[in-house]
């Protein structure tokens, strides 16, 4: 599929479509996936109705690519600069796209390291369930060691935040960003009746599940290369404080993010490449 210009905002994007009829939209700005729909047109990812489509502003929703920093775990601005930067299209088919950011080291004075970051998106199918795979690879093209944190900041569309439970994290240690980074241990499923902002450490790759009793659907999140996983919902006060987020939109979204975060930064020697991926499986009721 060729690059097209979105008439609503003037930004360049790709529209991918699987053989089964699932669709994903990927903007060149930030290699940012803003939409994943099943064959019926049901939105599986959340993007805010208040999202600002005006570079270099990051887009609120979908899958922001946080690199070379997650959150404030480093000297850069929130979530680094990849999500605010235009990528180049390397390769595309009807149902996949690969984009690249070739950083030369002068993008931010606080991060003087050249690198190439590639992001590949692939639509697929597992039985009757649509799948979405996203792979990222960072190559150190400079002459010094570079360290980074990262995340695929995925926003899932849900029926209502009170209807969901996250399983697969029982017994896993996490740092609670709302408790000054205090370390705690998950007991049972994660449920939501207030703000949640946690980094789960050394999360098994075998998968995390979001069960939505309101729709009867289940999302499976499988990761590789990312040691950690972030679970986030801003709840009422933070939702109201964000200009690019609706006051009530916290009720219809949940972020589960494979990450290099609480386990510490990844150190990449000159010429080395690191890669990580996530595969999402949507099982309708």
H/E run at residue 121 = strand 115-126
Residue 118 exposure: Cα atoms within 13 Å on the Cβ side: 15
Give the span between the Cα atoms of 271 and 229, in whole angstroms.
27
- Does 257 participate in catalysis according to the annotation? yes
Whether residue 79 lies in the annotated active site:
no
Which residues face 29 on adjacent strands? 86
Instruction: Please say whether the beta carbons of 89 and 97 come within 8 A.
Output: yes
- Find out whether the peptide bond into 261 is cis, omega within 30 degrees of 0: no
- Token couple for 223: 């990761």
Contact 228, 198 (CB under 8 A): no
**Side-chain-facing half-sphere of 142: CA atoms under 13 Å:** 18
- Phi, psi dihedral angles at 198 (to 5 degrees): -130, 145
Number of helices (H) and strands (E) in the chain: give both, helices first.
1, 23
- Looking at 29, 79, 153, 250, which residue is catalytic? 153
Assign 37 to helix, strand or coil: strand
Structure tokens at 166: 């996250």
Please give the positions annotated as active site: 153, 257
């Amino acid at each position: 599929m060729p690059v097209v210009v979105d008439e609503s905002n003037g930004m360049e994007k790709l529209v991918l479509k699987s053989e089964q009829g699932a669709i994903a939209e990927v903007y060149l700005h930030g290699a940012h996936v803003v939409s994943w729909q099943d064959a019926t047109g049901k939105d599986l990812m959340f993007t805010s109705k208040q999202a600002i489509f005006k570079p270099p502003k990051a887009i609120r929703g979908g899958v922001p690519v946080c690199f070379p920093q997650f959150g404030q775990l480093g000297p850069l601005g929130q979530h680094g600069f990849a999500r605010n930067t235009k990528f180049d299209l390397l390769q595309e088919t009807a149902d996949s796209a690969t984009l690249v950011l070739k950083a030369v080291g002068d993008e931010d004075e606080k991060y003087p390291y050249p690198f190439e970051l590639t992001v590949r998106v692939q639509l697929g199918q597992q039985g009757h369930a649509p799948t979405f795979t996203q792979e990222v690879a960072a190559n150190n093209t400079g002459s010094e060691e570079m360290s980074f944190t990262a995340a695929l900041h995925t926003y899932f569309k849900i029926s209502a935040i009170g209807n969901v439970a996250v399983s697969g994290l029982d017994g896993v240690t996490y740092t609670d960003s709302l408790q000054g980074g205090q370390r705690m241990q998950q007991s049972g499923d994660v449920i939501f009746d207030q703000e949640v902002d946690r980094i789960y450490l050394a999360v098994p790759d075998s998968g995390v599940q979001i069960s939505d009793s309101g729709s009867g659907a289940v999302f499976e999140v499988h990761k590789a290369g990312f040691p950690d996983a972030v679970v986030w919902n801003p709840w009422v006060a933070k939702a109201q404080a964000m200009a690019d987020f609706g006051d009530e939109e916290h009720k219809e979204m949940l972020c589960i993010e494979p990450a290099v975060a609480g386990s510490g930064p990844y150190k990449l020697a000159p010429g080395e490449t690191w890669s990580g991926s996530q595969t999402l499986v949507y099982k309708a009721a």
